[in-house]
């Protein structure tokens, strides 16, 4: 068996092959019931004989008469008009197989895919294979070339039948089997083209046999279409054979093909109207999408510009979370909408140019530039809002730290001042002995020393309060009240201290006894006690750091403090030794001490207690600093993770941006191949989205940890987001450019080779790979293609210069005429930017070198439908056009007002002119 499937793979008839692959399903359907097989035998036999009779012969038995291959080869020569190789006249089986193979080879050369059909089966009289082969021949030579409105053959034939029978009652052609059982469809086809042959109104739907026989007899007698079907077989079969019906109906199509002038005109009008309807829908879609996007931007910008301050860090972090949700959830779909809006606008303008329609001007405020401007304002508001949130978080964090520090220091100071006013106002010295007065004076001197030591703390409290006021702390009123109370009390204490000192000094002259040891103890104990209080205060001091260097600085300071503890302990022991010496002297001299040291309230026990407390705080401070060091190390790890991922993503985006720039210049293959490659490239880029999401997750952890700097990378999340969006937009625009080139090629009939030539020439002169040519580069590009604008008359007639003149232009460096070149620049660069894009270049070349539908052509088509009248009626439109397009015309055509007008006349000339703008006429 010969494998024609492999042979057919070498065929260049791609369109025909695809269609035949779709339609060639006989090997499944030929598992027929007897009724279908009978219908096919009769129909295919009649169809073959309708052609063989031109060669003076016929067949009787379809599977027997083709076995030797002679009549099969003759049939193919008749229907194709071509000569086949000379047949072999021998009677042996091998001669028959060779003849059939020659026929099958010829069929395969026409782009037909013969699956599982071999010469041996035909020679052996295999009915199934023979019927399948004949059906394949019918498809290729009788049906394949039937196309209505760019549909496939079968669909085109069905659409032709539907249009021709649409005005007839009781006829509804939906298929090629049961829609034809009552015979009315056959009669309607004949009546539509030859109303003189059929009295359609006399036919009854309930008499199918009469209807079928009437159509078959009229077709055979008057149209030279042989009878290929039996009325009784069709009526008595639940579902007539589709192939038999199609074969017979195709004969009607070919019989009436000479009367297609009006239908061709109608098709042209339908095509033009369909383009206009599609363009109007695209305009409506653009306007709605632009309005929705602008409305979203209008609603969003005030939210981003709101600078209402919050009172706490948690409240601001909630705003930050809302902003992150906006960036990651709400904005990305709008980015896609913006990109799609631009693509839709470019595609619409391309379609309008290709169909000679006026350019689309969106309503005021909805231009692409307006969208871009609003988007730029939105992104500016985003940047400002994010910076404000981070600044506010820093400010509130600082405020909370200062407020807590203020209240801590204020509480310590208030605890120290408790009872001091009472002590300073008492008159105990008035009834004291000399030694007691001296003791009181020394005690007061120690108090003054203590008071002076506390001056620094009061100043710190006031400074913190001032900073809280400057940073606009929300509870500044209570801070100021407390600070003022402390300052007022401090002034009172100062005055009372001075007053008491003066009183004691007046009394001191009268008192001479003093215990030097108590005095020395008091003098040394007071500053040491104050040092311990300061140390404990420092050990409890709140701290806030933002990096490892800052926490390491605190740890270093703490280590330095610990290194002084040995000397401090020696001072404590020395102070305690003074008290021990007092006890020793008293015991040695039998002195009875009156009680506590008269010069100070600081007892050895209190010094030891505070020392123990201070020593207990040291390891706590160690732990707190170590925990903060661990946190900063963790933050540094987060920085490094983010930086590693950011550097990877940044490099990827940069590489891809450069790569898509090269791809857009170096693309090879057909435009469809380029489009497929670009979409696959886009898919590959989109597969990188998990890496972007991974980076976003790192960025979220960075923000949650309140990390505000990163020394490991120069990339920020904002820069990478913008770069990613720009990459997606660039690849989408590149895909759209290729799609528009396909639209241009298909609409203008430009060959793939011409597109290659245009692209190669454009890229040659695009030295900086910017995707656009400057005026002089464009002029040189036109000359390289042999475009002669010096010869204005020749140019406007659409002619290209000869090869000799092209060579002359190039060799002499001939410049284009200024007037003509200015006209061309006005076409390709209407905005006067000085640069010509590749799409504008292609549009110009295709417009100058190809023919397109014009208003004149549409008017001529309407004139055909109107039977040369200057107007057309609604009835004629509904008869000749599909319902939706007929109503489209009727709704938009103005009444015809000429002298030859009749009631209901419509002006198709002004309607056609309006489709293309006034420039065509």
Best-predicted range by mean pLDDT among 393-397, 769-773, 842-846, 878-882?
Answer: 878-882
What are the pLDDT digits (tens) for 479-530?
Answer: 889 898 889 888 888 888 888 887 777 655 533 433 567 677 788 888 988 8
- What is the C-alpha to C-alpha distance for residues 197 and 217, in angstroms, rounded to an integer? 11
pLDDT band at 839 (very low <50, low <70, confident <90, very high): confident
pLDDT at 434 over 70: no
pLDDT at 782 (0 to 100): 81
Which stretch of 55-59, 624-628, 720-724 has the lowest confidence by average pLDDT?
A: 624-628
Say if residue 372 is in the same domain as residue 521. no
| CB burial of residue 267 (10 Å; 0-12, 13-18, 19+) | middle
Say if residue 388 is in the same domain as residue 456. no
pLDDT band at 778 (very low <50, low <70, confident <90, very high): confident
Is there a domain that residue 330 lies in? yes
pLDDT at 295 over 90: yes
Say if residue 592 is in the same domain as residue 506. yes
pLDDT at 8 over 50: no
Place of tokens 């600082």: 398
pLDDT band at 647 (very low <50, low <70, confident <90, very high): very high
Top-confidence residue, 553 or 257:
553
pLDDT at 10 over 70: no
Is there a domain that residue 613 lies in? no
pLDDT at 14 (0 to 100): 41
Average per-residue pLDDT in the chain?
80
- What is the C-alpha to C-alpha distance for residues 306 and 471, in angstroms, rounded to an integer? 20
Where is the domain boundary, 575, 602, 629? 602
Task: Produce one character per residue of 766-800: b if its CB has 16 or more CB atoms within 10 Å, e if not.
Answer: beeeebbbbbebbbbbbbbbbbbbbeeeebeeeee
Where is the domain boundary, 695, 723, 748? 748
Lay out the sheet containing 872-873: strands in order across.
872-873, 905-907, 894-895
Q: What CATH code is carried by the domain that includes residue 470?
A: 1.20.58.60
Say if residue 597 is in the same domain as residue 486. yes
Say if residue 482 is in the same domain as residue 347. no
pLDDT band at 811 (very low <50, low <70, confident <90, very high): very low
- What is the C-alpha to C-alpha distance for residues 715 and 455, in angstroms, rounded to an integer? 49
Where is the domain boundary, 365, 398, 431? 398
Say if residue 317 is in the same domain as residue 428. no
- Which residue, among 749, 759, 780, 742, has the nearest Cα to 837 in the 3D structure? 759
- What is the C-alpha to C-alpha distance for residues 711 and 696, in angstroms, rounded to an integer? 18
The residues near 761 (Cβ < 8 Å, ≥ 6 apart) are 781, 784, 785
Task: Produce one character per residue of 636-645: b if its CB has 16 or more CB atoms within 10 Å, e if not.
Answer: bebbebbbeb
pLDDT band at 812 (very low <50, low <70, confident <90, very high): very low
List of long-range contacts for 534-540, beta carbons under 8 Å, 24+ apart:
534/453, 535/561, 535/614, 536/610, 536/613, 536/614, 536/617, 537/409, 537/412, 539/614, 539/617, 539/618, 539/620, 539/621, 540/408, 540/617
* Number of domains, the chain: 4
DSSP class per residue in 78-141: HHH--PPPPPP---SHHHHHHHHHHHHHHHHHTT---TT--HHHHHTT-HHHHHHHHHHHHIII
- What is the C-alpha to C-alpha distance for residues 510 and 513, in angstroms, rounded to an integer? 10
Q: Cβ(681)–Cβ(731) under 8 Å? A: yes
pLDDT at 24 (0 to 100): 42
Top-confidence residue, 790 or 752:
752
pLDDT band at 380 (very low <50, low <70, confident <90, very high): very high
Is there a domain that residue 626 lies in? yes
Which stretch of 138-147, 369-378, 829-838, 887-896 has the lowest confidence by average pLDDT?
A: 138-147
Mean pLDDT of 877-895: 89
pLDDT at 204 (0 to 100): 92
Write out the two tokens for 67: 């076995």
Is there a domain that residue 117 lies in? no
Best-predicted range by mean pLDDT among 577-591, 645-659, 791-805?
Answer: 645-659
- What is the C-alpha to C-alpha distance for residues 620 and 611, in angstroms, rounded to an integer? 15
Sign for the CA dihedral angle at 636, 641, 642, 647 comes to positive
Q: What are phi and psi of 756, to 5 degrees?
A: -60, -45
Write out the two tokens for 872: 């057309």
pLDDT band at 417 (very low <50, low <70, confident <90, very high): confident
CA separation, residue 807 to residues 16, 783, 803, 810, 812 (Å): 40, 9, 6, 5, 9
Q: Cβ(100)–Cβ(122) under 8 Å? A: yes
Place of tokens 């701290």: 543
pLDDT at 562 (0 to 100): 83
Top-confidence residue, 753 or 43:
43
What are the pLDDT digits (tens) for 304-320?
Answer: 888 887 778 788 788 88
Mean pLDDT of 153-168: 88
Say if residue 598 is in the same domain as residue 622. no
Top-confidence residue, 786 or 247:
247
Say if residue 443 is in the same domain as residue 591. yes
Q: Compute the CA torsion angle 572, 574, 580, 581 (nearest 10 deg).
A: -160
Say if residue 576 is in the same domain as residue 626. no
Q: Cβ(853)–Cβ(356) under 8 Å? A: yes
Top-confidence residue, 113 or 82:
82
Say if residue 591 is in the same domain as residue 676. no
pLDDT at 184 over 90: yes
pLDDT at 187 (0 to 100): 95
Mean pLDDT of 107-129: 84
Give Cα 812 to chain centroid, integer Å.
49
- Which residue, among 628, 634, 468, 417, has the nearest Cα to 542 in the 3D structure? 628
Helix (H, G, I), strand (E, B) or coil at 246: helix
pLDDT band at 48 (very low <50, low <70, confident <90, very high): very high
Top-confidence residue, 882 or 746:
882
Is there a domain that residue 830 lies in? no
The residues near 163 (Cβ < 8 Å, ≥ 6 apart) are 148, 263, 882
Is there a domain that residue 309 lies in? yes
The residues near 355 (Cβ < 8 Å, ≥ 6 apart) are 272, 275, 276, 279, 747, 852, 853
Say if residue 455 is in the same domain as residue 549. yes
DSSP class per residue in 707-732: ----TT-S--HHHHHHHHHHHHHHHH
The residues near 789 (Cβ < 8 Å, ≥ 6 apart) are 782, 795, 816, 817, 820, 821, 824
Q: Cβ(101)–Cβ(2) under 8 Å? A: yes
Sign for the CA dihedral angle at 302, 307, 309, 310 comes to positive
What are the pLDDT digits (tens) for 197-240?
Answer: 999 999 999 999 999 999 999 998 998 888 888 888 888 888 88
Write out the two tokens for 431: 């009834």
pLDDT at 810 over 50: no
What are the pLDDT digits (tens) for 448-458?
Answer: 888 888 888 88
pLDDT at 180 (0 to 100): 93
What are the pLDDT digits (tens) for 658-698?
Answer: 888 777 666 677 888 888 888 888 899 889 899 889 888 88
Write out the two tokens for 810: 């190039």
Top-confidence residue, 774 or 916:
774
Q: What CATH code is carried by the domain that includes residue 861?
A: 1.10.238.10
The residues near 2 (Cβ < 8 Å, ≥ 6 apart) are 101, 104, 118, 119
- Which residue, among 788, 794, 777, 753, has the nearest Cα to 841 in the 3D structure? 777
pLDDT at 94 over 60: yes
Percent of the chain scoring above 90 in pLDDT: 11
Q: Cβ(868)–Cβ(840) under 8 Å? A: no
Query: Residue 257 has what DSSP assignment?
Result: G
Is there a domain that residue 403 lies in? no
User: What are residue 905's DSSP bridge partners?
Assistant: 873
In which domain, by residue range, is 328 found?
267-398
Say if residue 627 is in the same domain as residue 557. no
What are the pLDDT digits (tens) for 589-601?
Answer: 454 556 677 778 8
Percent of the chain scoring above 70 in pLDDT: 86
- What is the C-alpha to C-alpha distance for residues 3 and 113, in angstroms, rounded to an integer? 10
- What is the C-alpha to C-alpha distance for residues 253 and 257, in angstroms, rounded to an integer? 6
- What is the C-alpha to C-alpha distance for residues 262 and 866, in angstroms, rounded to an integer? 9
Q: Where are the beta strands (DSSP E) in 494-652?
A: none
- What is the C-alpha to C-alpha distance for residues 279 and 276, in angstroms, rounded to an integer? 5
DSSP class per residue in 282-294: HHHHHHHHHHHHH
pLDDT at 592 (0 to 100): 54
Is there a domain that residue 282 lies in? yes
Which stretch of 169-183, 406-420, 657-671, 733-747 has the lowest confidence by average pLDDT?
A: 657-671
pLDDT at 348 (0 to 100): 86
pLDDT band at 893 (very low <50, low <70, confident <90, very high): very high
Which stretch of 258-262, 332-336, 803-807, 907-911 has the lowest confidence by average pLDDT?
A: 803-807
Q: What are phi and psi of 600, to 5 degrees?
A: -160, 155
Which stretch of 379-383, 724-728, 813-817 has the lowest confidence by average pLDDT?
A: 813-817
Give the other-Cβ count within 10 Å of 437's Cβ. Answer: 26
């Amino acid at each position: 068996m010969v494998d024609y499937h492999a042979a057919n793979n070498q065929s260049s008839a791609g369109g025909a092959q695809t269609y035949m692959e779709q339609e060639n399903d006989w090997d499944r359907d030929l598992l027929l019931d007897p009724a279908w097989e009978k219908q096919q035998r009769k129909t295919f036999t009649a169809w073959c004989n309708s052609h063989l009779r031109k060669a003076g012969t016929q067949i009787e038995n379809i599977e027997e008469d083709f076995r030797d291959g002679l009549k099969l080869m003759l049939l193919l020569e008749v229907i194709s008009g071509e000569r086949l190789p000379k047949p072999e006249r021998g009677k042996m089986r091998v001669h028959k197989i060779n003849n059939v193979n020659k026929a099958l080879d010829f069929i395969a050369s026409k782009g037909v895919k013969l699956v599982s059909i071999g010469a041996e089966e035909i020679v052996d009289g295999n009915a199934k294979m023979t019927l399948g082969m004949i059906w394949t021949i019918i498809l290729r030579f009788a049906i394949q070339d039937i196309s209505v409105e760019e549909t496939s053959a079968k669909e085109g034939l069905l659409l032709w039948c539907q249009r021709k029978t649409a005005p007839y009652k009781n006829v509804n052609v939906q298929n090629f089997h049961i829609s034809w059982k009552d015979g009315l469809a056959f009669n309607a086809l004949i009546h539509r083209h030859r109303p003189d042959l059929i009295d359609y109104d006399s036919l009854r739907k309930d008499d199918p046999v009469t209807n079928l026989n009437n159509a078959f007899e009229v077709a055979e007698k008057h149209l030279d279409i042989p009878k290929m079907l039996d009325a009784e077989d069709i009526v008595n079969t639940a579902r007539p054979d589709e192939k038999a019906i199609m074969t017979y109906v195709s004969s009607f199509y070919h019989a009436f093909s000479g009367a297609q002038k009006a239908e061709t005109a109608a098709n042209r009008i339908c095509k033009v109207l369909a383009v206009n309807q599609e363009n109007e829908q695209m305009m409506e879609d653009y306007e709605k999408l632009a309005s929705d996007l602008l409305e979203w931007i209008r609603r969003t910008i005030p939210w981003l510009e709101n600078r209402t301050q919050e009172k706490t860090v948690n409240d601001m972090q909630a705003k930050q979370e809302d902003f992150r949700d906006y960036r990651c959830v709400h904005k990305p779909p709008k980015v896609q909408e913006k990109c799609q809006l631009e693509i839709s606008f470019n595609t619409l303008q391309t379609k309008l140019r290709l169909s000679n329609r006026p350019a689309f001007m969106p309503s005021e405020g909805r231009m692409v530039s307006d969208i871009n401007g609003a988007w730029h304002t939105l992104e500016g508001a985003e940047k400002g809002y994010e910076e404000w949130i981070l600044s506010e978080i820093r400010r509130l964090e600082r405020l909370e730290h200062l407020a807590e520090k203020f209240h801590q220091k204020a509480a310590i100071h208030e605890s120290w001042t408790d009872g001091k006013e009472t002590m300073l106002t008492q008159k105990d010295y008035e009834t004291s002995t000399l030694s007691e007065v001296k003791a009181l004076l020394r005690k007061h001197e120690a108090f003054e020393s203590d008071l002076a030591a506390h001056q620094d703390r009061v100043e710190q409290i006031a400074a913190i309060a001032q900073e809280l006021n400057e940073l606009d702390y929300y509870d500044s009123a209570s801070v100021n009240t407390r600070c003022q109370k402390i300052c007022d009390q401090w002034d009172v204490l100062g005055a009372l201290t001075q007053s008491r000192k003066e009183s004691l000094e007046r009394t001191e002259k009268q008192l001479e006894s003093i215990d030097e040891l108590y005095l020395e103890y008091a003098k040394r104990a007071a500053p040491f006690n104050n040092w311990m209080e300061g140390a404990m205060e420092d050990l409890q001091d709140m701290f806030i750091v933002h990096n490892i260097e800052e926490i390491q600085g605190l740890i270093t300071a703490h280590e330095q403090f610990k290194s002084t503890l040995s000397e401090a302990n020696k001072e404590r022991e020395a102070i305690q030794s003074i008290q021990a010496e007092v006890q020793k002297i008293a015991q040695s001299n039998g002195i009875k001490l009156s009680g506590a040291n008269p010069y100070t309230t600081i007892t050895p026990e209190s010094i030891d207690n505070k020392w123990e407390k201070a020593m207990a705080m040291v390891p706590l401070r160690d732990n707190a600093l170590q925990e903060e060091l661990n946190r900063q190390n963790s933050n540094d790890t987060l920085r490094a993770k983010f930086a590693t991922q950011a550097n990877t993503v940044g490099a990827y985006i940069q590489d891809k941006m450069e790569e898509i720039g090269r791809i857009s210049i170096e693309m090879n293959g057909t435009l469809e191949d380029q489009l497929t490659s670009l979409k696959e490239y886009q898919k590959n880029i989109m597969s990188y989205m998990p890496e972007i999401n991974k980076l976003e997750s790192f960025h979220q952890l960075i923000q949650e940890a309140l990390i505000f700097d990163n020394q490991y990378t120069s990339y920020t999340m904002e820069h990478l987001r913008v770069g990613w969006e720009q990459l997606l937009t660039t690849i989408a625009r590149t895909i759209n450019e290729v799609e528009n080139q396909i639209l241009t090629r298909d609409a203008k009939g430009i060959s793939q080779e011409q597109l290659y030539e245009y692209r190669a020439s454009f890229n040659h002169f695009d030295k900086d790979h910017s995707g656009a040519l400057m005026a002089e580069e464009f002029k040189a590009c036109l000359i390289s293609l042999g475009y002669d604008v010096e010869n204005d008359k020749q140019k406007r007639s659409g002619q290209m210069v000869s090869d000799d003149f092209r060579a002359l232009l190039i060799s002499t460096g001939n410049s284009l005429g200024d007037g003509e070149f200015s006209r061309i620049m006005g076409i390709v660069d209407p905005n006067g930017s000085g640069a010509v894009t590749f799409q504008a270049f292609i549009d110009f070349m295709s417009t100058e070198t190809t023919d397109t539908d014009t208003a004149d052509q549409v008017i001529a088509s309407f004139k055909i439908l109107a039977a040369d009248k200057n107007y057309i009626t609604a009835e004629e439109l509904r008869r000749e056009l599909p319902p939706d397009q007929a109503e489209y015309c009727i709704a938009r055509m103005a009444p015809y007002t000429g002298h030859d007008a009749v009631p209901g006349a419509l002006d198709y000339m002004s309607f056609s002119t309006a489709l293309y703008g006034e420039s065509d006429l």
